[in-house]
Amino acid sequence: MASIETIQRILVKLKETSEIMTDLAYFSILNQNEDVAKHVLELEEEVDSLHTELGLEVLKLREKRPEKGLLGLIQVGVASENIAEAATSIAELVFESSRPHPVMNVALNEADEVVAAFKLSRTSILANQSIAELSLHDDIGVWIIAIKRRNKWYFDPDERFVLKSDDLLLIRGPPEGRDAFLSLARRVRNQTPS
């Protein structure tokens, strides 16, 4: 059933988008970053249309699948959309208040999962590697959630994305993963890997 695959895709996309929005929202408020905050607002519109699409696709299935399971699906969809809205309300703070938030910075940086930014130096061992080659997440539990290159942001980059020196990387993961990533990224190319 083609419809089932479409709904699966929408459900996964809703879940992933609402979660990445939350990470980006925390980053935007910690760094007073308007570009990232704006992107969260854009994603909210995307989530809105995904949610509508989900409802329409679910209706198409109503005679083919048990109704209860479809109702549950609609409720999960509503929840993802509301999570996306909550993330948006955090990102909006970037425009509402321009003062730094020392308390929030400490609070968010002491969490189980943190978001950090790192600029790749010219000599970094990570430069000229694709995200797939690095397999950062498989190995140390760190995701690259966005990259800024020459004033342009690339959000949720593809595995084939090749990192370049001077890229600003936004990463998310547990603090141990972040620290492992930072020490890796600081390693200089041509150095023999241990």
Partner 1 sequence: MSFDQLNKESLQIKYHPAPVRKILTEIKDLSELMVDLAYSAVLFDDLDLAEEVVDLEDEVDRLMSLLIMNAALAIRDKEDAEAIYPIIKTASAIDRISNEAARIARVVIRKIGVDPLISEALSYADERLVRTSISSDSILQQKKLGELGLETNIGVIIRAIRRNGELYLDIDDDFMLGVNDVIVAKGTDTGIVELDMLARGGLKRIPKPKVI
> Does residue 9 touch partner 1 according to CB under 8 A?
yes
Give the whole-angstrom CA distance, residue 115 versus residue 188.
23
The CB density around residue 131, as the number of other CB atoms within 10 Å, is: 20
DSSP 124: B
Using the contact rule CB under 8 A, the part of the chain among 33-41, 44-52, 102-110, 163-171 near partner 1 is 102-110
Amino acid at 75: Q
**Across the chain, which distance is largest between two alpha carbons, in Å?**
62
Using the contact rule CB under 8 A, the part of the chain among 33-41, 44-52, 126-134, 160-168 near partner 1 is 126-134
> Does residue 129 touch partner 1 according to CB under 8 A?
yes
> Does residue 11 touch partner 1 according to CB under 8 A?
yes
Closest CB to partner 1 among residues 59, 111: 111
> Does residue 2 touch partner 1 according to CB under 8 A?
no
Per rule CB under 8 A, count of chain residues that contact partner 1: 67
Give the tokens for residue 191.
């150095």
Give the whole-angstrom CA distance, residue 110 versus residue 177.
13
Contact positions with partner 1 (CB under 8 A) in 144-173: none
Which parts of 13-133 are beta strand (E)?
114-119
Q: Can you tell me whether residue 119 is helix, strand or coil? A: strand
> Does residue 117 touch partner 1 according to CB under 8 A?
no
Half-sphere exposure for 96 (CA within 13 Å, toward CB): 8
What is the contact surface with partner 1 in residues (CB under 8 A)?
4, 7-9, 11-12, 15-16, 19, 22, 25, 29, 61, 65-66, 68-73, 75-76, 78-80, 82-83, 85-87, 89-90, 93, 96-97, 99, 101, 103-104, 106-108, 110-113, 125-126, 129, 133-143, 174, 176-177, 180, 184, 193
